[in-house]
């Protein structure tokens, strides 16, 4: 006869089997959850021409470049769970110099503008030392602690991050050949495209802006007696602020004398030269946000400012840009397709670099290596970062875009 085992013993075995199955399943569930967790890369924001960032502490606290009248956008985005930083690159320097400064801030090194470049333009090769206060910690040091970043650039910041991505991917053959062994900055060696996940440009002058061409008429307009007199009497008013802005535009001409400033890159001819060496990089996602602050069209086909959304401080330049056609010294024709604008950059230029692969934004068909064109933002050049003298609430807009990038990374 077989010995009959107690009933509770069988129950214990059954419970043990069930518990074992559950315990074995737990790690699998945890691993699956970890695998489904999207990668969360830092976001690095780069300001436009005449801009600033978090290193200019006093100025940035008084008036954050990112957020402006809407408050500190970096603080708002960080509070929403994103890791965001605002780089500080030279406000008027060329895209090349700004890209070099961005690299030094990200890696915690001394700025190296490159031996060949600095000698060509006659300025110091080395700049600020960021070794004690880098923007990020552990990026591009071989540790693998920080694999990738998202780059977001407003206005000329768009040209800066495009060139930066190009140098990270391909380096510079001219700098390599003209630099002694052991002195070459990591920015110029190339092979680092995998450290960048995405590039997003906002109101960026990919093909330049005809505002650089309109400098002379703007200067002439301001010099007219009645306007100059009105500006003296209206200081501090909305109209006075507008006139001050016009005067500021006329002063840009002084910078053209320096060949290593952003003004040349902002000119359509200079932008075309930059586009010859900067292209989209396979594996990096590219997004652009075009901007347009025009509304009505005159009988002559010119564009006028949308007074409901455009800042009054930009009405004059919007009108100028919306009514001027011609040809640059380099032969680039700016016809009526250039008339729509945001007060600083022609809308056609904010879409994407001419001749580069691009497509309209399609959430089901987002591809790396080509420009994904977002819907045109209805607002002026400053509205998309918080407003010039008129507050623009952009927080939710940025949160939505950053979430899109994180889903894409996941």
Catalytic center residues: 155, 342, 381
- CA–CA distances in Å: residue 123 to residues 35, 97, 112, 119, 259: 49, 11, 11, 7, 11
Identify the CA nearest to 322 among candidates 345, 290, 354. Answer: 345
Sign (positive or negative) of CA dihedral 351, 354, 360, 363: negative
Judge residue 58's burial from the number of C-beta atoms within 10 Å of its C-beta, 0-12 exposed, 13-18 middle, 19 or more buried. exposed
Beta strands 43-46 and 84-86 are parallel
Residue reference for tokens 């060509």: 120
Side-chain-side CA neighbours of 265 within 13 Å: the count stands at 29
Identify whether the C-beta of residue 184 lies closer than 8 Å to the C-beta of residue 141.
no
The string over 284-304, giving b where at least 16 C-beta atoms fall within 10 Å of a residue's C-beta and e elsewhere, is: bbbbbbbbbbbbeeeeeebbb
Q: Which two tokens stand for residue 208?
A: 């330049």
- The H or E element that residue 372 is part of is strand 371-373
Question: Would you tell me how many other CB atoms lie within 10 Å of the CB of residue 50?
Answer: 13
| Cβ-Cβ contacts under 8 Å for 161 (sequence gap 6 or more) | 46, 99, 102, 151, 152, 153, 199, 201
3-state secondary structure of 38: coil
d(CA 212, CA 63): 26
Side-chain-side CA neighbours of 343 within 13 Å: the count stands at 24
3-state secondary structure of 287: strand
3-state secondary structure of 367: coil
Identify whether the C-beta of residue 92 lies closer than 8 Å to the C-beta of residue 255.
yes
């Amino acid at each position: 006869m077989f010995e009959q085992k107690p009933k509770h013993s069988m129950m214990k075995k059954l419970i043990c089997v069930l518990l074992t199955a559950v315990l074995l399943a737990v790690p699998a569930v945890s691993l699956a959850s970890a695998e489904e967790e999207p990668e969360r890369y830092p976001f690095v924001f780069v300001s436009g021409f005449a801009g600033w960032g978090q290193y200019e502490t006093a100025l940035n606290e008084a008036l954050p470049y990112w957020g402006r009248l809407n408050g500190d956008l970096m603080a708002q985005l960080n509070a929403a769970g994103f890791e965001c930083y605002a780089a500080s690159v030279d406000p008027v320097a060329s895209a090349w110099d700004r890209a070099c400064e961005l690299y030094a801030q990200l890696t915690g090194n001394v700025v190296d503008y490159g031996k060949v470049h600095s000698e060509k333009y006659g300025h110091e090769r080395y700049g600020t030392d960021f070794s004690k206060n880098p923007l990020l910690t552990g990026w591009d040091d071989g540790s693998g602690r920080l694999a990738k970043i998202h780059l977001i650039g407003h206005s000329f910041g768009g040209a800066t991050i495009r060139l930066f991505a190009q140098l990270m991917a391909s380096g510079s053959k001219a700098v390599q050949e003209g630099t002694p062994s052991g002195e070459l900055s990591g920015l110029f060696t190339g092979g680092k495209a995998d450290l960048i996940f995405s590039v997003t440009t906002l109101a960026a002058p990919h093909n330049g802006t005809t505002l650089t061409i309109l400098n002379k008429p703007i200067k002439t307009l301001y010099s007219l007696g009645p306007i100059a007199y009105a500006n003296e009497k209206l200081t501090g008013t909305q109209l006075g602020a507008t006139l001050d802005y016009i005067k500021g535009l006329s002063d840009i001409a002084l910078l053209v004398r320096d060949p290593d400033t952003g003004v040349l890159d902002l000119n359509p001819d200079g932008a075309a030269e930059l586009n010859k060496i900067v292209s989209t990089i396979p594996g990096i996602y590219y997004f652009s946000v075009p901007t347009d602050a025009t509304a009505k069209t005159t009988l002559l086909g010119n564009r006028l400012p949308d007074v409901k959304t455009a800042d009054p401080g930009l009405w004059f330049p919007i009108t100028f840009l919306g009514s001027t056609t011609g040809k640059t010294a380099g032969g680039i024709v700016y016809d009526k397709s250039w008339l729509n604008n945001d007060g600083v950059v022609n809308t056609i230029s904010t879409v994407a670099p001419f001749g580069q692969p691009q497509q309209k934004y399609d959430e089901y068909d987002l591809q790396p290596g080509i420009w994904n064109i977002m819907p045109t933002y209805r607002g002026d050049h400053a509205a998309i970062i918080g407003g010039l003298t008129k507050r623009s609430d952009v927080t939710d807009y940025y949160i939505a875009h950053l979430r899109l990038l994180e889903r894409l990374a996941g």
